[in-house]
């Protein structure tokens, strides 16, 4: 795959490490667990959106944008990192925040919300849950255009075929690293949200004829619609890349058993998983995405899902700033 033909900015100067989690692997008694540390990517606080933004911001700049607009939940990591990338590029940034949990927006909340303020967001537009986010962002864009400005809209999670190229690039990076480490990974586990990460990794692995199974742990949508979303993006990405070997629908594996009461709502298992990884490996997961994905992986290990495999790799997609708005839930336990 030739990714060099797509314009790209660089926000991380190195390949993120792949670490063996010795103590966690021993405690869980299953396969050896490795972790790809994408929580250590560049921009303020790191996390998976940094990779997507390398391609999205390059596209925005090539179109002469002076402002980026994106959207997310009230504690969105994607919004924090889009704003950070805009700061780096000298662009302005506006955020449209969706109150997926009614009344959840608090102008003075900590975590990512505090960072929106610290990084100097131009404006925050708050809308109710289930709003048409594309239409809401378009409204903001139209108002800016009327003032003679040049807005560029980045979809939620940065998950279109441009942003997802970041995870095709990550798949390439991982395969090269694993080769250098002389490490044969049997299974990859990812968090499956707006689908760019899952689709990008799967398309990248398949496109390089390295058919390592990828399991996605859902944190929002049910299995059916999540599988559709991942598949749709895999098809668009494969077309953009001109791939002969695109992922098939059967390659998309999604579990929706670890969502609990809904997006961003804490589960007991998430709290256990975040604590266990903190206390065995000193690695911070997050309450909305990787904590639930880790809870899923731990449950699947216990149920024997990975039996017969030696080495599995968990992709740590970041998100720790959100921990600081869930302190009550953690102290309560």
Ligand X SMILES: *Cc1c(COP(=O)(O)O)cnc(C)c1O
Q: Which of 25, 76, 192, 238 is catalytic?
A: 76
- Residue 193 as a binder of ligand X (CB under 6 A): the answer is yes
Considering the complex, state which of residue 30 and residue 216 has its C-beta at the smaller distance from ligand X. Answer: 216
Q: How far is the CB of 298 from ligand X (least distance, A)?
A: 17
Q: Hey, is 135 helix, strand or coil?
A: helix
d(CA 214, CA 253): 7
Nearest to 318 by CA among 281, 300, 291, 296: 291
Considering the complex, state which of residue 111 and residue 196 has its C-beta at the smaller distance from ligand X. Answer: 196
Q: Label residue 284 left, alpha or beta by phi (over 0 means left) and psi (-120 to 50 means alpha).
A: beta
Q: Which of 51, 92, 94, 198 binds ligand X (CB under 6 A)?
A: 198
d(CA 136, CA 151): 13
Nearest to 184 by CA among 281, 19, 313: 313
- Residue 77 as a binder of ligand X (CB under 6 A): the answer is yes
- Residue 318 as a binder of ligand X (CB under 6 A): the answer is yes
Half-sphere exposure of 183 (CA within 13 A, CB side): 20
d(CA 89, CA 58): 10
Q: Which of 50, 75, 194, 215 binds ligand X (CB under 6 A)?
A: 194
Task: Find the part of the chain contacting ligand X (CB under 6 A) among 20-28, 57-65, 192-200, 305-313.
Answer: 192-200
- Residue 207 as a binder of ligand X (CB under 6 A): the answer is no
Other beta carbons within 10 angstroms of residue 302's beta carbon come to 12
Q: Which of 32, 192, 215, 227 binds ligand X (CB under 6 A)?
A: 192
- Residue 263 as a binder of ligand X (CB under 6 A): the answer is no
Distance of CA 281 to the CA centre of its chain: 21
- Residue 319 as a binder of ligand X (CB under 6 A): the answer is yes
- Residue 16 as a binder of ligand X (CB under 6 A): the answer is no
- Residue 46 as a binder of ligand X (CB under 6 A): the answer is no
d(CA 70, CA 85): 12
Looking at residues 139 to 158 of the shown chain, list those that interact with ligand X (rule: CB under 6 A): 157
Q: Which of 36, 51, 78, 292 binds ligand X (CB under 6 A)?
A: 78
Q: In this structure, what token pair is assigned to residue 215?
A: 């399991």
Other beta carbons within 10 angstroms of residue 61's beta carbon come to 17
Looking at residues 290 to 309 of the shown chain, list those that interact with ligand X (rule: CB under 6 A): 290
Q: Is 320 a catalytic residue?
A: no
Catalytic positions are 76
Residues contributing to the site for ligand X (CB under 6 A): 47-48, 77-78, 157, 159, 191-198, 286, 289-290, 317-319
């Amino acid at each position: 795959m030739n990714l060099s033909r797509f314009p790209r900015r660089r926000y991380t100067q190195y390949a993120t490490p792949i670490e063996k989690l010795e103590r966690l692997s021993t405690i869980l008694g299953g396969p050896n667990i490795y972790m790809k540390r994408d929580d250590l990517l560049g921009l303020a606080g790191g996390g998976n959106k940094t990779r997507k933004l390398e391609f999205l911001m390059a596209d925005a700049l090539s179109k002469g944008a002076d402002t980026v607009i994106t959207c997310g939940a009230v504690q969105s990591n994607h919004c924090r990192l889009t704003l950070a990338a805009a700061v780096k590029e000298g662009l302005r940034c506006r955020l449209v925040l969706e109150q997926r949990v009614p009344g959840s927006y608090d102008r003075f909340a900590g975590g990512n919300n505090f960072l929106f303020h610290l990084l100097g967001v131009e404006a925050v537009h708050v809308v109710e849950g289930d709003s048409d986010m594309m239409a809401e962002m378009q409204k903001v864009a139209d108002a800016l255009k009327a003032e003679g400005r040049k807005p560029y809209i980045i979809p939620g999670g940065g998950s279109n075929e441009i942003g997802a190229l970041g995870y095709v690039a990550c798949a390439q990076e991982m395969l090269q690293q694993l080769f250098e480490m002389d490490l044969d990974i049997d299974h990859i586990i990812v968090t499956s949200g707006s689908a760019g990460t899952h689709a990008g990794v799967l398309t990248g692995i398949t496109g390089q004829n390295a058919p390592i199974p990828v399991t996605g742990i859902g944190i929002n949508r049910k299995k059916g619609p999540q599988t559709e979303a991942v598949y749709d993006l895999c098809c668009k990405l494969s077309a953009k890349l001109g791939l002969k070997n695109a992922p098939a629908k059967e390659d998309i594996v999604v579990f929706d058993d670890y969502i609990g009461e809904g997006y961003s709502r804490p589960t007991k298992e998430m709290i256990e998983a975040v604590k266990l990884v903190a206390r065995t490996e000193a690695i911070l997961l997050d309450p909305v995405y990787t904590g639930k994905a880790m809870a899923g992986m731990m449950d699947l290990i216990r149920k024997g899902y990975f039996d017969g495999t030696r080495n599995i790799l968990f992709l740590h997609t970041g998100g720790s700033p959100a921990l600081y708005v869930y302190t009550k839930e953690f102290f309560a336990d």
